[in-house]
Structure 1
Amino acid sequence: MTLSPQFLDELRARTLLSGLVGKTTKLQKAGREWRACCPFHNEKTPSFYVNDDKGFYHCFGCSAHGDAIRWMTDQRGLPFMDAVKELAQTAGMELPAMDPRAAEKAEAAKGLHEACADAAGWFTDQLNGLAGATARDILAKRGIKPETAREFGLGFAPDSRGALKGALKDYGDPLLVEAGLLIKVEEKTPYDRFRGRLMIPIRDPRGRTIAFGGRIIGDGEPKYLNSPETPLFDKGRTLYNLDKAAPATRKTGRVLVVEGYMDVIALAQAGFREAVAPLGTALTEPQLERLWRLAEVPILCFDGDSAGQKAAIRAAHRATPLLQPGRSLAFVTLPPGVDPDDLVRTKGAGALEALLANPEPLVDRLWASEFAAEPLTTPEQRAGLKQRLTEIANTIADANVKSEYIAEFRRRTDALNARPPRAPFVPRPQGGGRKGNQPWKPAPGPVGDGAKGIHARGMDGVLTKPVLIGLLRHPTEIGRHIGELSRLNITDHRLANLLDAMIDVAVEEQTLDSERLLTILATSGFDIIAHDLLRADQLMCSFTQRDAEPARAREELDEAIAILVARPEVDAALAEATAMMQTDYSDEAFERQVSLVKEQQALDARLANLVQSNEDARAFAEGS
């Protein structure tokens, strides 16, 4: 089909722009024009104007500008041809003739659209009738209001093999099978696909029903059942709620991607109308392209459980080759066992908004995934990390973005298998969490599975050796920190034995300098490991240097010990809180979980600040 400039001009001329815009935006008369608060950005004073004589709209705040067709593509999110078709239908204009094959295909699609629309209406009637009582109870228990159910066209499919088939018999079985509403198995009589399910219509960007998702009511598998691929429905190219999210995204400037239908519906009810969801599959390249048409950096807000986080990293790897300047992804990680639906239902919209205020960039998610893939205690393992990151960066097609990722990954791996990029400094509590000069006692056993994860391994690998070097150079600090040092669970048994020996010496010796400590350690067979540590190229902190300024060395050693002690304990407490959430969800357990996650982040920030401040100092010294 070819659209001539004359046809498009006539279409614009026949479309009253203020009437079109006024369907979704409240307009006020302003002389020969209309004005409103701009639908493309948030504002309190109207700066958006519609001029019917000239046939365009313009916002003096954000510079949004266009005609009727542009309004349909930008505000409604429709593809160009769909926008033209809808405007032409309203204006009573015939589109230029299509070739016979295309016309035949369009006529068939029209029948499928009508069948899906009638099915959606029938499902809604069942939900609101006597048969839908159980489904309505489920919605009520999930906090879905009746008006929300109506907005999303929710319905109910009775547990019958022929109820829908009978209601739509005028379409004939072949068309209903093609629409995915009936199942045809070999030569058997077709029967209803959806039975005993809460029904959720799936719509295209124009708001037309093209498929359905059905959630089982009661026991049964699968929990969610989607329509099959049809001439209308391509699962890998469709995003649930795109028709409603597109205009909302243009107001908020962001698009949220969640895992399921009910998350989208719950978020919309809570005020987050810019949420979409893939349809039971990992995000595909076409879906990512659709998301990037809405926002430069879509925010993935998947469930906090293992499956949700695996889906998030799959999406990260799928998106990486497609990155371009100004086009990326970001991530919000919920506490384990909590999904967006749970969060807004139990804690309110503010809890999610707080998380969305500081999403994790794509580069951080990729880094964390590879950092956690295996221990980093040997040169070979660290080389493996560098190789994996380089391979990821090399998949990026855009040369400029690729070079930036390679440089960023190199910077992080060069900085001691790196911690996260520099974060704002978070002051530690007064006293740094130390217990003072407590009597020495044996180190306790493992603090729990939480200490064995990525962050605990990272803290151990990054800080243990530098702290031991600091204690060898400043042995008087051992006595000040005996209470904390005895709580450490060092994974390297050689280093753990060295620390125990250092504590024993500090208990026996009231006055101790570095030379005296090394001499005593040598008599117990620790001379080699102690001297190897002092010669090692470790974290460049003041307390690891021979001639460091004493006050700064003491302060930074205090901080490093406090972080090294606190992080495994926080991880263990979080693991315990997470396990409790799985069996006994409560507001108190949720608050505990969130609080511990924040403690983790604060410790990461403190370590990042410690590392960065010394990197800055070294760079300054080298440049002087």
Structure 2
Amino acid sequence: MALSHLQITPDFLRAVRDAIDIVAIASDHTRLRKAGRRWSGLCPLHREKTPSFSVDPEQGLFYCFGCGAGGDGIRLHMALTGDDFPAAIEALARRFGVPIPTTPGPRRPRSGEEPDLEPVLTAAAEYFRHELERSETARAYLARRRVSPELAARFGLGYAPEGWRGLLTALAPRHPVERLLAAGLVARPESGGEPYDRFRHRLIFPIRDAAGRLVGFGGRALGDDKAKYLNTAETARFHKSALLYGLDQAKRAAREGGRLVLVEGYFDLLAVAAAGEPAVVASMGTALTPEQVRLCARWAEEVVIAYDGDGAGVAAAARALPLLLAERLAVRRAHLPAGQDPDSLRQAAGDEALQRVLAAARDFVLLEIERLVPADAHREPRLQARGAAAVAELLGTIPDPVLRYGYGRLAAERLRIPAELLWGRLRLDRKALVPAAPRPRREVGSLDEEVLWLLLRPGGERLARAELPAPEVFFDAACRNIFAAYSALYEREGAPPDLGQVLAAVAVAGPEVDRLARLLLEREDSPETGGRLRELLDNLNRRWRRQRLRELANEIREAVRQGEPARLDALLSERDQLNRALHSLQPRNQGPGPR
């Protein structure tokens, strides 16, 4: 969350860009391997099996040859965390030790402006952890649940003591009550009166978003409170339906292994993690939401549902299946004994028993087909029709027609009906089964791009300011904007700008940053480029003059038709000047070049 009084000056922005370690940012989300002077790995922005993500620490750029995303470290942080530009700058400045300039003295948020809750949430987490160290009751409870001190520390567990104002008293001297209320840590009676602690005599689970930022807490009652579990009240920062508990710790293992284990509650997650599976997240007891499913799809290709083995857990898993399939996720179902969940199974039978259950998880779609189509359904036409309708409804959520076809064929075999009877219900035809052509890996090829690459690559050619053409000679809009920024910086500074200056001058979220990253990372540097930049600039000028001459021909005809002698004279004069300039630009060589 950005400070309300953060001042993003050009010098501060440049200092942040210079301090950023883009390899460190990417490594938080995917495993990178050194490849020459660059690093490569699986893209953290989309699901893939073959590494196509490239990071260049010298230039501070990344580019994915699979999904086409690219940019600098700020852009990568924004894409991975969802931060807007000011929040990204603040977070990166704090991470890489850049002093943050602010206006003199803090100010209160303006009306409608979101307060900065990071300090109060962090202070609350520290308070809860300290209270856990002091509470023998809470530590004994964790020991009974087989939660080791190391596991508790890994997930930052804490304890909210009994009493109505413990947290409030501890934090109020440094944090206004309004901030505690905004963070969902304290509440006021509906009838009015003094605020009180929301969490009392509860084991506390800090809840973080995918980027690792603390957004709220969950509490498990240790007494006879009717509400066994209680979460932070919904705030501007905490939206339970859009969060997965543990994702901040699970995402890297999920990216590398391609799989996430999905459980319902906090202790289920701790049990799976203790059993040796780091890629585990919890929906925190709520019905799985589309927002949570999209988070799963961002980090994994397959989800193993390990919900409770009772009727409610089985029903919840069945409701989750269509949502997961719609996001192109493979889904497996771990079969837990009736009446048990991952936590109780681990306590009763140990880590290995839980590991075996997860390893034996079956394809959930096939399990559902078996449930929806009884083995003897073929004996009764009405059961066949009912089963076919139910299967079609389930498989209709699968976007991939080939996958729908495969499951549909297996369902038809179980129904003992011709597969063609299901195709219409599954929206399948021959055209749908033709695979899409693979996306080709594009090379830097256009004249506009080649000029920019030669100009901005490390050790690129340097030209005098007078040798630079007008930006209008670039036909590609993104390339034109990049060159305009380069030219303006050159004019202002009196020297060729470096890549960092150009990046700072173009829109951080615009197509220019993507284009710069692709141009500079799409191919390795070639030392044999001496003199080529001037040749290509001549080609740019020549191309633009030819285009302008074609436009002038139309304008001259229109001026003659309209009877505008003054305008006609000006157009003829411009045409003559362009022709003379064009004839003076003789090609430096006759070899083919990019067009």
TM-score range, shorter-chain basis?
Answer: 0.5 to 0.7
Q: After superposition, where does 1:68-79 map in structure 2 within 5 Å?
A: 68=73, 72=77, 78-79=81-82
Residue 189 of structure 1, CA deviation: 2.6
- Separation in 1 of the partners of 2:244 and 2:100? 30
Contact 1:323–1:401 (CA under 8 A) maintained in structure 2: no
The equivalent of 1:382 in structure 2 is: 384
Contact 1:33–1:49 (CA under 8 A) maintained in structure 2: no
The equivalent of 2:267 in structure 1 is: 262
Contact 2:373–2:384 (CA under 8 A) maintained in structure 1: no
Contact 1:39–1:251 (CA under 8 A) maintained in structure 2: no
Distance 1:212 1:311, change over 3 A: same
Distance 1:228 1:365, change over 3 A: farther
- Separation in 1 of the partners of 2:247 and 2:387? 38
Contact 1:181–1:193 (CA under 8 A) maintained in structure 2: yes
Distance 1:93 1:119, change over 3 A: closer
Distance 1:33 1:50, change over 3 A: farther
The equivalent of 2:177 in structure 1 is: 173
1:108 aligns with 2:96: no
Contact 2:378–2:415 (CA under 8 A) maintained in structure 1: no
- After superposition, what is the alpha-carbon deviation per residue over 1:150-174, rounded to whole angstroms, capped at 9, x for unaligned? 2211111112112122222243333
- Separation in 2 of the partners of 1:21 and 1:204? 17
Distance 1:379 1:310, change over 3 A: same
Contact 1:25–1:36 (CA under 8 A) maintained in structure 2: no
- After superposition, what is the alpha-carbon deviation per residue over 1:422-450, rounded to whole angstroms, capped at 9, x for unaligned? xxxxxxxxxxxxxxxxxxxxxxxxxxxxx
Contact 1:18–1:34 (CA under 8 A) maintained in structure 2: no
Contact 1:117–1:208 (CA under 8 A) maintained in structure 2: no
The equivalent of 2:244 in structure 1 is: 239
Instruction: Specify the code of the residue in structure 2 equivalent to 1:176.
Output: L
The equivalent of 1:487 in structure 2 is: none
1:133 aligns with 2:136: yes
- After superposition, what is the alpha-carbon deviation per residue over 1:370-390, rounded to whole angstroms, capped at 9, x for unaligned? 236998763323322222222
Structure 2 gaps of 5+ residues are 3-7, 45-52, 104-108, 420-595
Q: After superposition, where does 1:55-66 map in structure 2 within 5 Å?
A: 55=60
- Separation in 2 of the partners of 1:159 and 1:374? 58
Residue 182 of structure 1, CA deviation: 1.7
Residue aligned with 1:255, SS: strand
Distance 1:178 1:49, change over 3 A: closer
1:159 aligns with 2:162: yes
Distance 1:399 1:200, change over 3 A: same
Q: After superposition, where does 1:95-494 map in structure 2 within 5 Å?
A: 104=110, 108-110=114-116, 112-129=117-134, 132-170=135-173, 171-184=175-188, 185-320=190-325, 322-324=326-328, 327-371=329-373, 378-396=380-398, 402=404, 405-414=407-416
Instruction: Specify the code of the residue in structure 2 equivalent to 1:153.
Output: G
Residue aligned with 1:225, SS: strand
Aligned-residue Cα RMSD (Å) equals 4.6
Distance 1:39 1:382, change over 3 A: closer
The equivalent of 2:450 in structure 1 is: none
- Separation in 2 of the partners of 1:405 and 1:133? 54
Residue 219 of structure 1, CA deviation: 2.5
Instruction: Specify the code of the residue in structure 2 equivalent to 1:214.
Output: G
TM-score (norm: length of structure 2): 0.56
Distance 1:342 1:107, change over 3 A: same
The equivalent of 1:14 in structure 2 is: 19
- Separation in 2 of the partners of 1:31 and 1:169? 52
- Separation in 2 of the partners of 1:27 and 1:331? 31
Instruction: Specify the code of the residue in structure 1 equivalent to 2:385.
Output: A
Residue aligned with 1:330, SS: strand
TM-score (norm: length of structure 1): 0.54
Residue aligned with 1:249, SS: helix
- Separation in 1 of the partners of 2:41 and 2:324? 35
The equivalent of 1:491 in structure 2 is: none
Instruction: Specify the code of the residue in structure 1 equivalent to 2:294.
Output: E
The count of corresponding residues between Structure 1 and Structure 2 is: 395
Contact 1:127–1:136 (CA under 8 A) maintained in structure 2: yes
- Separation in 2 of the partners of 1:96 and 1:181? 28
- After superposition, what is the alpha-carbon deviation per residue over 1:208-234, rounded to whole angstroms, capped at 9, x for unaligned? 221111111133322111122111111
Higher helix share: 1
- Separation in 2 of the partners of 1:66 and 1:146? 41
- Separation in 2 of the partners of 1:196 and 1:14? 44
- Separation in 1 of the partners of 2:323 and 2:126? 37
Contact 1:301–1:340 (CA under 8 A) maintained in structure 2: yes
- After superposition, what is the alpha-carbon deviation per residue over 1:251-291, rounded to whole angstroms, capped at 9, x for unaligned? 33211111111121232233222111012211101100110
- Greater displacement, 405-414 / 217-226: 405-414
Distance 1:349 1:17, change over 3 A: same
Residue aligned with 2:337, SS: coil
- After superposition, what is the alpha-carbon deviation per residue over 1:545-575, rounded to whole angstroms, capped at 9, x for unaligned? xxxxxxxxxxxxxxxxxxxxxxxxxxxxxxx
Instruction: Specify the code of the residue in structure 1 equivalent to 2:166.
Output: A
Contact 2:221–2:228 (CA under 8 A) maintained in structure 1: yes
- Separation in 2 of the partners of 1:32 and 1:381? 62
- Separation in 1 of the partners of 2:376 and 2:186? 49
- After superposition, what is the alpha-carbon deviation per residue over 1:275-330, rounded to whole angstroms, capped at 9, x for unaligned? 1101221110110011000112221111222222121111113334x244xx3322
- Separation in 1 of the partners of 2:356 and 2:9? 50
Identity of aligned residues (%): 34
Instruction: Specify the code of the residue in structure 1 equivalent to 2:415.
Output: T
Contact 1:248–1:273 (CA under 8 A) maintained in structure 2: yes
- After superposition, what is the alpha-carbon deviation per residue over 1:56-80, rounded to whole angstroms, capped at 9, x for unaligned? 6899xxxx99964577579xx5336
Structure 1 gaps of 5+ residues are 41-47, 98-102, 418-624
Instruction: Specify the code of the residue in structure 2 equivalent to 1:367.
Output: I
